[in-house]
A and B are shown apart, each in its own frame.
Chain A
Amino acid sequence: MSRYDYKHQLGTSQSPVTRRISLMQAIHLDAPLLGGLLVLVCVGLFVLYSASGQSTDTLLRQLLRIVAGFAAMMVMAFIPPRTYKRWTPWLFGIGIILLIGVLVTGTEAKGAQRWLAIPGTGVRFQPSEIMKVVVPMMLAWYLAERALPPGWKPVLLAAVLILVPTLLIAKQPDLGTSLLIASSGFLVLFLSGLDWKYIVGLAAAAVPAGAGVWMVMHDYQRQRVLTFLDPERDPWGAGWNITQSKTAIGSGGWEGKGWLHGTQAHLDFLPESSTDFIIAVLAEEFGLLGICALLLIYFAIVARGMYIAMNAQDTYSRLLAGSLTLTFFVYVFVNIGMVSGILPVVGVPLPMVSYGGTSIVTLMSSFGILMSIHTHRKLVST
C-alpha cells in the first residue's frame, strides 16, 4: 500500500508542468469532491423549495449561504496544510476561551446560550461551530507528533483534549453538538490506531456514563430521550414531530408523492420541514428511490474524502482529512437516523441540505481543508 503510494507520489511529481496548468490545481480545488458537493447542494435546493412552501425568498437566502460556504471553502483550500498545523494549538486555545466566553456572556437563544456577539458589529456566531473543525485539528496535531498507535499516556491526554470542549458545550447546554464534537475527536483517535481494547472499554463504560448523563440532563433533554424511546407516549406533544416525520417518510413509498406534492410538509403536519426534518420531505416526495440516490451522493463524498485522507502526505493531514470526512458522515447518519426514528431527536441539520447558514459554512470550510490537503503536495510524504 505504502509502496504503491510512494510510486504514485513519484508519478505525480514527475510531471509538475501538467499539475500547474490544471486550473483546479491552481485554485486548490478537488474536482470530484466539488462535483459531489454541487450535486448535493442542487438536490438540497430542490427539496428546500418544496419544503419551504415554494418560497423563492427562502431559496435565495439559502443560495446566498451556499455561495458564502463555497467562498469559505475556497479560502480554506488556498491555505496550505502546514499553516493549519502551525495554527492548530492557537485556534484550539482561542476556541476554548470563546466557549468560556459564551458561558459567561453568551446571549440567550431558545433557552440555551450558544451564541456570542462580536462587540460593536452586531454579528453573532456559535463558537461551538468552530470547534467542530478545531477539535479534530487539535487531536490530529497532538497525535501526529506521537508514535502511532498511541500509548496510554497520549490517549489519556487526547481524552482530556476532547472532554474539555465537549463539557463546555454540553454546559451551554447543547448536548447534540457536544456529542458530535466528542465523536469527531474520537474519530481522530480511532484513525490513529487506538487500541481496540480502549474502544471496547469505552463502550463498556458508556452504560454507567449514560446513567450519569441522565442525572445531569435538563428536563427537555430527558423529554427528548423518553420521546425517542416511545413516541406514542405523547402523540400530540413531544412525540408529534417523530410521529409526523415517520408518517411523511412511510407515506412516500417507493417513488414518493412527487415533487411539491408532499401533503405532510405542505399542510404543515411536519414540523421543522425546512431545517432538521427536511429529509422527511425528500422521502415523502421522492420515495425510497430518492433516499437511495441521496445516500449515494453522500457516500460518494465520503468515499472521495477517505481517498484524500489515504493519499495525504503526512499524519496530521491524514488524521484531519479522515476525521472531517467521517464526522460529515456522522452528521448525515444522526440526522437521517433521528428523522426516521432510530435515534433520539437531537438538533442536527442534514449536511448541505437543511436550511440554515452556520452549518453550511462550517461544513464547506472543512471540505476546503480537505481540498487543501489534496492540492498542496510536497514531493516527499512524511
Chain B
Amino acid sequence: MPKPITLKDHYRETRVFARRAVVSVFVVILLIVALVARMVYLQVLQYEKYSSLSDDNRVSVEPVAPTRGLVVDRNGHLLADNRPSYSVSITRELCPDIDDTLEKLSRLVEISDSRLDDFHKRLAQRRRPFTPVAVKFKLTEAEIAIIAVNQHLLPGVSLSANLVRHYPHAEAMSHAVGYVGRINESELQKLNATRYSATEHIGKTGVEAFYEERLHGEVGFQTIETDARGRITKVLERTDPIPGENLQLFMDLSTQLAAMQALEGRRGAVVAIEPETGGILALASVPGFNANLFVTGIDYATYNALQNSRARPLFNRTLQGRYPPGSTIKPIVGLGGIETGATTWDYSIYDPGFYKLENDSRFYRDWKKWGHGVVNLHSAIVESCDTYFYELAFNMGVDSIHDFMAPFGFGDRTGVDLINESKGLLPSRFWKKATRNMPWFPGETLITGIGQGYMLATPLQLALSTAILANHGNKVQPRMVKAIGGTPLPAPEVGPPITLKNPENWDRIIKSMRDVVHSAKGTARGIAKDLPGYDIAGKTGTAQVLGIKQDEEYDAEKIAEWHRDHALFVGFAPVQNPKIAIAVLVENGGGGGSTAAPVARLVLDAYFESLRQDANVPTTRAVQTP
C-alpha cells in the first residue's frame, strides 16, 4: 500500500489559524481586562482598606515608659534609682532551631529550668512575628560580653537594655522604701491602662507603693515605622514621657544603717521620729530582705524561703507588728494618773512584790520578787515598779486610761505615709463589750496599767507617743517624705495639742524618764556611760509573751527562745531640745534595759554624729537627679 499522501489545504489551514489567532487575541484582551478589573478592585474600590492595612503594617504608636522618680534620704543619698539591665532574647522567626540555640546559649550563660519553662510558655503565646522573647534577665557584664562575642553563632539571639529599679541599700531599706515588682492581674484592672501602657513595674510596698502616683510620671508616645522584622526604621512623631518626681525622705541613711546593724542577728524594729516635724528618721524592721530580688521577678524557691522563714523577713514589724508595750507606757499612764487625780507626785506606797485585789485570790506580781519597798510615781518610773502601777491603774479605771492614752496615738492608725499600717489595740470596757461581748474584769485593768493584757501597740505608735511626750503634748503625724520634686510637703493637719491642768507636769514626768537613764537606780542606766554630749529621757519595757502561771517563776534559761519576753525601749534626746524620739523592740530579747536600750543608744549616737557632720558641711547636698 502506497504511503498516503497528506493533502494539505494551505488556504484552509491559514484560515483556521487566523480564526484561532483572532480568538486568542480576543481572549488575551479579555484576560487583560480581568486583570485590570482586579487591580481596579484592589487599588480603587478597596484602596482605603489596603492603605490603612499598609499603614498599620508599618506605623504603630508605641508608648514610652517614663523614668521612675528617685528616692533619696534627707542628705541626698540615693535609696532607689534606675539602672540599665541587660536581657537576652530569642526571636523565633530569625532563629533556625530554637532548641539548638537554647542549648548553645546555655553553654555560654547559666539558664535556670524555671526560666526555660517561662520562656517556652511565652514563646507558645500568640504574638506578632519577629517579637523577641526574653530568655534571661539581668545579665552580668561577663555574660553580655560572652554572648556578644558569640552572636554570629546564635542567629535570632539578641541583647537588649532597659531601665530597672535598683536599691543600693536593698536590705536596710526593704521595709521603708519598699520595692517595685511586675504589675499583676488585679493591679492591672485598677490601673489607668493608658498611663501604664509602657510600664512593667509598680510599687508594691513602702514609699514605692504609697507614692506610686508621684513616682510613676506620665507616659510618652512615639509613632514609629517598623519593618516586617519589627525593627524600628524611623520615629515619625514623639511625645516625650514626663519622668516621675523625685522623693526626698526624712530618713537619715546612717541612722537607718546603724539601726539595722544594732539589731543584726536579732528580730526586732527601730522607729525614730523627729519630734518637731514627725519626720521618720529611721524605720528598721529586722531581718530585712534583698528588695532587688523582687524587681525582675523572684524565683519560687527564694520567695518560699523568705515567706516561710520563722524570722519573718517580709513582715514589716514597725507598722504591722502588734506587741504588748509593757512598761514603756508607764510615763503616760503616770501622767494620766496625775491628771485624773488618781495619784499625786507625793503619794507613795509600800511594794511587797505583789498586788492583791479584794475578792481576788490572784497575786499580781512585780518583776522584782521581793518588791521595791516604798515607791512614789518618780521612783516607780525610774525603777519600773509594777505594783505602783497596778494600784494606779485600779484607781484610774480602764476607761480613764483609754481616754488619756488615745490622744497619744494608741489604738489608731498614725496616718503615716506608708501602706498596711496596723491600728494596735487600746482596750476599754466598750471595746470588750463590742468585740467579745464580755464584761470588763478589774484584774484586766491592773495589767493594762503595765502595758500587758489586751493592749497592743506598733513600734511606730510607741515612737509617736514618745515624740508627743517630748513635744509636751504637741501632736505630729509621722511621715516618710519630706519633699517631692524639691518642693517640701506641707505638714499634715493634726489634732489640738494635749493640754495638762498643770503644764509643769510635762517636765516632771520627763525628769523621771531622764532618771531612768541618768540615775543610779534607773533601769537603763547602762546606756548613760560616755554619752557624747547629749542626754536621754527614756523608759524600758519587758513584755511577756507567755502568760506566767501563779507562783511560777520566769526563768529565761528554761523557756524556749520563742517564748522569751520582748525587750522594749522608748526615749528621746536631747532632753531639753528633743531632736529624736525613738522606739526599740527586740523580739524575745529579754530585758528592755539590757537588750533594747543599748540598741537605742547606738542609733542615737549615729544620728547625733550625722547631725554633727551635717552641720560641718557648709551647703546642704542637693537632690541628685540622673
Q: How far is the CA of A191 from the CA of B22 in the complex (A)?
A: 10
Contact of B20 among A146, A191, A295 (CB under 8 A): A191
Whose C-beta in chain A lies nearest to the C-beta of B12?
A148
Stretch at the interface among B49-57, B142-150, B486-494: B49-57
- How would residues 219 to 237 of chain B score, 1 for a CB under 8 Å from any chain A CB and 0 otherwise? 0000001111100010000
For A382, list chain B residues within 8 Å (CB): 10
- How would residues 3 to 40 of chain B score, 1 for a CB under 8 Å from any chain A CB and 0 otherwise? 00011111111111111110011001101101110111
Q: How far is the CA of A2 from the CA of B10 in the complex (A)?
A: 9
B233 lies within 8 A of A192 (CB):
no
Q: In this assembly, does B624 line the interface, its C-beta being within 8 Å of a C-beta of chain A?
A: no
For B10, list chain A residues within 8 Å (CB): 2, 315, 381-382
Q: How far is the CA of A295 from the CA of B36 in the complex (A)?
A: 8
B50 lies within 8 A of A249 (CB):
yes
B17 lies within 8 A of A303 (CB):
no
Contact of B8 among A147, A187, A190, A299 (CB under 8 A): A147
Stretch at the interface among A37-45, A99-107, A113-121, A263-271: A263-271
For B14, list chain A residues within 8 Å (CB): 1-2, 5, 318
> Contacts A2-B11, A147-B6, A306-B25: A250 and B42 contacting too (C-beta < 8 A)?
yes
A299 lies within 8 A of B32 (CB):
yes
Report A158 CB to chain B, min CB distance, Å: 15
B57 lies within 8 A of A295 (CB):
no
Q: How far is the CA of A150 from the CA of B11 in the complex (A)?
A: 15
A299 lies within 8 A of B28 (CB):
yes
Q: In this assembly, does A291 line the interface, its C-beta being within 8 Å of a C-beta of chain B?
A: yes
Q: In this assembly, does A337 line the interface, its C-beta being within 8 Å of a C-beta of chain B?
A: yes
- How would residues 191 to 202 of chain B score, 1 for a CB under 8 Å from any chain A CB and 0 otherwise? 000000000000
Contact residues of B between 40 and 79, Cβ < 8 Å to A:
40, 42-44, 46-47, 49-51, 53-55, 57-58
Report B49 CB to chain A, min CB distance, Å: 7
Q: How far is the CA of A254 from the CA of B48 in the complex (A)?
A: 12
Q: In this assembly, does B415 line the interface, its C-beta being within 8 Å of a C-beta of chain A?
A: no
A193 lies within 8 A of B16 (CB):
yes
Q: Please tell me the size bucket of the interface on A.
A: 35 or more
Q: How far is the CA of A5 from the CA of B17 in the complex (A)?
A: 13
For B84, list chain A residues within 8 Å (CB): none
> Contacts A251-B50, A267-B233, A340-B38: A315 and B17 contacting too (C-beta < 8 A)?
yes
Q: In this assembly, does A25 line the interface, its C-beta being within 8 Å of a C-beta of chain B?
A: no
For B29, list chain A residues within 8 Å (CB): 299
For A193, list chain B residues within 8 Å (CB): 13, 16-17, 19-20
Instruction: Tally B residues with Cβ within 8 Å of A.
Output: 48
B6 lies within 8 A of A145 (CB):
yes
Report B4 CB to chain A, min CB distance, Å: 10
Contact of B21 among A288, A309, A340 (CB under 8 A): A309
Q: In this assembly, does A127 line the interface, its C-beta being within 8 Å of a C-beta of chain B?
A: no
A267 lies within 8 A of B8 (CB):
no
A342 lies within 8 A of B38 (CB):
yes
> Contacts A2-B15, A248-B54, A267-B57: A306 and B228 contacting too (C-beta < 8 A)?
no
A191 lies within 8 A of B21 (CB):
yes
Q: In this assembly, does A58 line the interface, its C-beta being within 8 Å of a C-beta of chain B?
A: no
Whose C-beta in chain B lies nearest to the C-beta of A148?
B13
A251 lies within 8 A of B17 (CB):
no
Contact residues of A between 229 and 282, Cβ < 8 Å to B:
236, 244, 246-254, 263-264, 267-269
For A340, list chain B residues within 8 Å (CB): 35, 38-39, 42
B42 lies within 8 A of A246 (CB):
yes
For B25, list chain A residues within 8 Å (CB): 302-303, 306
Q: How far is the CA of A155 from the CA of B302 in the complex (A)?
A: 82
Q: In this assembly, does A333 line the interface, its C-beta being within 8 Å of a C-beta of chain B?
A: yes
Q: How far is the CA of A323 from the CA of B521 in the complex (A)?
A: 123
Report B591 CB to chain A, min CB distance, Å: 71
A283 lies within 8 A of B57 (CB):
no
A302 lies within 8 A of B46 (CB):
no
Interface of chain A, helix or strand or loop or mixed?
Answer: helix
Q: In this assembly, does A287 line the interface, its C-beta being within 8 Å of a C-beta of chain B?
A: yes
B24 lies within 8 A of A190 (CB):
yes
A322 lies within 8 A of B28 (CB):
no
Q: How far is the CA of A147 from the CA of B6 in the complex (A)?
A: 7
> Contacts A190-B24, A382-B10: A253 and B51 contacting too (C-beta < 8 A)?
yes
Whose C-beta in chain B lies nearest to the C-beta of A187?
B24
B57 lies within 8 A of A250 (CB):
no
Number of A-B contacts (CB under 8 A): 155
Report B190 CB to chain A, min CB distance, Å: 33
B17 lies within 8 A of A263 (CB):
no
Q: How far is the CA of A303 from the CA of B10 in the complex (A)?
A: 23
A322 lies within 8 A of B24 (CB):
yes
Report A88 CB to chain B, min CB distance, Å: 18
B17 lies within 8 A of A310 (CB):
yes
Q: How far is the CA of A309 from the CA of B21 in the complex (A)?
A: 8
Whose C-beta in chain A lies nearest to the C-beta of B23?
A190
For A371, list chain B residues within 8 Å (CB): none
Contact of A291 among B19, B39, B229 (CB under 8 A): B39
> Contacts A147-B7, A247-B54, A342-B38: A269 and B228 contacting too (C-beta < 8 A)?
yes
For A295, list chain B residues within 8 Å (CB): 32, 35-36
Q: In this assembly, does B373 line the interface, its C-beta being within 8 Å of a C-beta of chain A?
A: no
Contact residues of A between 298 and 334, Cβ < 8 Å to B:
298-299, 302-303, 306, 309-310, 315, 318-319, 322, 326, 329, 333
Determine which residue in B6, B51, B55 has the highest number of CB atoms from chain A within 10 A of its CB, and name it. B51
Q: In this assembly, does B129 line the interface, its C-beta being within 8 Å of a C-beta of chain A?
A: yes
Q: In this assembly, does A157 line the interface, its C-beta being within 8 Å of a C-beta of chain B?
A: no
For A1, list chain B residues within 8 Å (CB): 14-15, 18
Q: In this assembly, does A31 line the interface, its C-beta being within 8 Å of a C-beta of chain B?
A: no
A146 lies within 8 A of B233 (CB):
no
Contact of B46 among A236, A250, A283 (CB under 8 A): A250
Q: How far is the CA of A201 from the CA of B475 in the complex (A)?
A: 105
A288 lies within 8 A of B43 (CB):
yes
> Contacts A191-B17, A250-B50, A322-B21: A267 and B225 contacting too (C-beta < 8 A)?
yes
Q: How far is the CA of A287 from the CA of B15 in the complex (A)?
A: 41
Contact of B17 among A302, A322, A342 (CB under 8 A): A322
Q: In this assembly, does A176 line the interface, its C-beta being within 8 Å of a C-beta of chain B?
A: no
For A191, list chain B residues within 8 Å (CB): 17, 20-21, 24
Q: How far is the CA of A342 from the CA of B227 in the complex (A)?
A: 27
Contact of A292 among B18, B34, B36 (CB under 8 A): B36
For A329, list chain B residues within 8 Å (CB): 28, 31
Whose C-beta in chain B lies nearest to the C-beta of A255?
B43
Q: How far is the CA of A148 from the CA of B32 in the complex (A)?
A: 30
B6 lies within 8 A of A247 (CB):
no
For B58, list chain A residues within 8 Å (CB): 263-264, 267, 269
B54 lies within 8 A of A264 (CB):
yes
Q: How far is the CA of A333 from the CA of B21 in the complex (A)?
A: 18
Q: How far is the CA of A236 from the CA of B18 in the complex (A)?
A: 49
Whose C-beta in chain A lies nearest to the C-beta of B57?
A269
A310 lies within 8 A of B21 (CB):
yes
- How would residues 139 to 158 of chain A score, 1 for a CB under 8 Å from any chain B CB and 0 otherwise? 00000011111000000000
For A149, list chain B residues within 8 Å (CB): 16
Whose C-beta in chain A lies nearest to the C-beta of B7?
A147
> Contacts A295-B35, A382-B10: A283 and B43 contacting too (C-beta < 8 A)?
yes
Report A242 CB to chain B, min CB distance, Å: 12
Report A132 CB to chain B, min CB distance, Å: 18
Name 9 interchain pairs, CB-CB below 8 A, sorted by A. A146-B6, A149-B16, A251-B53, A263-B58, A291-B39, A315-B8, A322-B20, A329-B31, A382-B10
Using CB atoms and an 8 Å cutoff, list the residues of chain B in contact with chain A.
6-21, 24-25, 28-29, 31-32, 34-36, 38-40, 42-44, 46-47, 49-51, 53-55, 57-58, 129, 225-229, 233
